Chains A and B, each alone.
Chain A
Amino acid sequence: MSDFDLITIGAGPAGMSAARVAAEGGLRVLLLDEQARPGGQIYRNAGQTRDARAWLGAEYAAGARLVDALEHPGITARFGATVWRLDAGPRVVWSEGGASHSARAPHILLAGGAQERPVPFPGWTQPGVMTAGAAQILMKTAGMLPRDAVLAGSGPLLYLVAAQMIDAGAPPKALVETQTPRMMLRALPHLPKALFAARTLLKGLGLMARIRKAGVRRYTAATDLAADTETDGTIRFSFRSGGAQHSLTCALVLTHQGVIPSTHISRAAGIAHTWNAAQVAFKPVHDIWGATDRPGLYVAGDGAGIGGADAATAAGQLAALDILRSAGRISADARNQRAALPRATLFRARAIRPFLDAAYAPSAETLSPPDETIICRCEEITAGAVRQSVKEGAQGHRQIKTSLRVGMGACQGLMCDATVRGVLCDGKSACMGRIAPPRARTPIKPITLGELAALTNDCKETA
């Protein structure tokens, strides 16, 4: 017997909107998220922050509405709940407060979102180098503002973080952008379609205007990124731009090269994946409702392909509608009718992606960094060591992993899979698409042996 009708893994915009629609339709929903509070990363802490920290912007504050909508008798929400196994059946096993629990449901929605693409360069492992997303999380959860920071890399999030820092009175010291005029040229043919997302385009232009007005120094087409630490902790950040070598001293370097779907859980579940050349990442294969080739398993949000928060909210609603149909609560006609609005939202939100994907494509050295760069942070393995093992005959992720332990540390490859693929292919997208992602196995997040040992034949069924 099932404990719930739907288990949603991830409480970001997709998971939250799906939970609400499903619960309103009469389903019993279990919502699991490994963070302490709902919101995902985009609306991180939005339920607590409310209108405080106005510099985070109105779009962030709007996330509180999705958080509030979780107050529904049909929704059981568990936070600090890290899913580490997904079984056919389907059954979900998660770790919470040092013990494992499990629950069954005929429908599971994977809404685990995205992670930032790793941005390896010499020195990126040192304290003082973080991701731009990490800085934003510190702003959202603790009101902490980066001090004397350089923003480096590419992508809309870089501009958003810069604008938020400016509005909060802590402007970045410089913006070091890796995108080239050629990338922008390649993006131009996608501009007409992007006009369907005119509001987002205007927002982006507004961000850039604020950055210009604040007088933040900008470098473009930057290459050869490297960071060094002085004994007092000061970071010396060097790079090439405009034919010259530059060196900036700062307290923080915040890097970003876009986001990629978190596919560990969907791969471990055995769902088919496909290479998205425009986004230079794998994503799970799914239909317009988010249904996958595995019975009962749905995907929605950035974990199904990068589209942003509005697209994720709409995709969550679409998945919930099809789950309601599958559960016999609504007819296919009713589902289709109610899908019109979220589909229109999804179309508009996605219209700008081809433009953004082309304009802010990851830099060549992000995909295939120089030899001395550590690419596996856990096991401290360099790009050069990977290239050497390939020369010695290692083929594919698996053999490289066996010979070097790349991807065998605590993060289980989350921080190096993308780079190993890039190094193997010299950064060429078509080649990367042919290299199957490494197997993702249970437990997909580390748990203690003690916790495993405490499991009886069947896991402790949760109430």
Chain B
Amino acid sequence: MKIASRFQASPESGAVQFQYDGETLTAPAGIPLAAALLAHSGGFSRQTAGGHDRTAFCMMGVCFDCLVEVDGIPNTQACMTPVRGGMVVRRQIGLRRLKGGSDV
């Protein structure tokens, strides 16, 4: 089920496009990636090893709950990563393996 964003969309312009699990999203360039993901959905951007939903929590690099894969690099803090056009972002389900990907 698609969960609506828990935020009112920003009216600001300067949109760039990036990929999120195969979907094309737009966001103002330079805002934190985690902000763009929260503007898109109120659901999870990661699931823990225990299978529980998480998404950005502190927005300042402390909690590590916003970890996503960005351009093939796993465990990237979405709150510390500015949005760039053409980024390829993936949700992380479970823990990452040493050589990438997950067991799920």
Binding site for B on A (CB under 8 A): 34-36, 41, 48, 80, 98, 115-116, 125-131, 133-134, 137-138, 141-149, 170, 229, 231-233, 251-252, 377-378, 380, 409-411, 414-415, 446
Pair B58/A116 contact, Cβ less than 8 Å: yes
Pair A130/B59 contact, Cβ less than 8 Å: yes
Pair B60/A127 contact, Cβ less than 8 Å: no
Majority DSSP secondary structure for residues of B touching A: loop
Q: Collect the chain B residues with CB atoms within 8 Å of residue A35's CB.
A: 60-61, 80
Min Cβ gap B97→A in Å is 13
Min Cβ gap B53→A in Å is 6
Pair B60/A137 contact, Cβ less than 8 Å: yes
Pair A377/B63 contact, Cβ less than 8 Å: yes
The reply to whether the CB of B75 lies closer than 8 angstroms to some CB of chain A is yes
Pair B7/A380 contact, Cβ less than 8 Å: no
Of the residues B52, B53, B62, contact of A115 by C-beta under 8 Å = B62
Pair A125/B6 contact, Cβ less than 8 Å: no
Interface residues of B in 13-51 (CB under 8 A from A): 28, 30-32, 35-36, 38-39, 42-45, 48-50
Tell me the complex Cα distance, A232–B48, Å: 20
Pair B1/A145 contact, Cβ less than 8 Å: no
**Across the two chains, which residue of chain A brings its CB closest to B30?**
A36
Also in contact, A128 and B6, with CB within 8 A (given A134-B57, A134-B60, A142-B31) = yes
Pair B30/A233 contact, Cβ less than 8 Å: no
Pair A41/B52 contact, Cβ less than 8 Å: no
Of the residues A143, A170, A233, contact of B43 by C-beta under 8 Å = A233
Pair A144/B3 contact, Cβ less than 8 Å: no
Number of A-B contacts (CB under 8 A): 130
Pair A144/B80 contact, Cβ less than 8 Å: no
Min Cβ gap A330→B in Å is 35
Pair B75/A446 contact, Cβ less than 8 Å: yes
Tell me the complex Cα distance, A149–B10, Å: 16
Min Cβ gap A265→B in Å is 13
Tell me the complex Cα distance, A414–B1, Å: 33
Q: Collect the chain B residues with CB atoms within 8 Å of residue A48's CB.
A: 30
Pair B59/A411 contact, Cβ less than 8 Å: no
Pair B42/A128 contact, Cβ less than 8 Å: yes
Please tell me the number of chain B residues within 8 Å of chain A, measured between CB atoms.
46
Pair B10/A127 contact, Cβ less than 8 Å: no
Q: Collect the chain A residues with CB atoms within 8 Å of residue B102's CB.
A: none
Pair B63/A231 contact, Cβ less than 8 Å: no
Of the residues A126, A138, A148, contact of B35 by C-beta under 8 Å = A138
**Across the two chains, which residue of chain A brings its CB closest to B98?**
A449
Min Cβ gap B15→A in Å is 12
Pair A133/B4 contact, Cβ less than 8 Å: no
Tell me the complex Cα distance, A80–B57, Å: 20
Pair B80/A233 contact, Cβ less than 8 Å: no
Min Cβ gap B13→A in Å is 11
Pair A127/B42 contact, Cβ less than 8 Å: yes
Also in contact, A130 and B56, with CB within 8 A (given A141-B31, A142-B10) = yes
Pair B59/A126 contact, Cβ less than 8 Å: no
Beyond A125-B57, A233-B1, 7 additional contacts (C-beta under 8 Å) are: A34-B80, A125-B52, A127-B43, A149-B6, A252-B7, A409-B64, A415-B62
Pair A147/B49 contact, Cβ less than 8 Å: no
Tell me the complex Cα distance, A446–B74, Å: 12
Tell me the complex Cα distance, A36–B78, Å: 12
Can you sample 30 A-B contacts with CB below 8 Å?
A: A34-B80, A35-B60, A48-B30, A125-B57, A127-B55, A130-B56, A130-B59, A131-B59, A134-B58, A134-B59, A134-B60, A137-B60, A137-B79, A143-B10, A143-B11, A146-B6, A146-B8, A147-B7, A148-B6, A229-B53, A231-B1, A233-B4, A377-B63, A377-B65, A380-B49, A409-B64, A410-B67, A411-B62, A411-B63, A446-B64
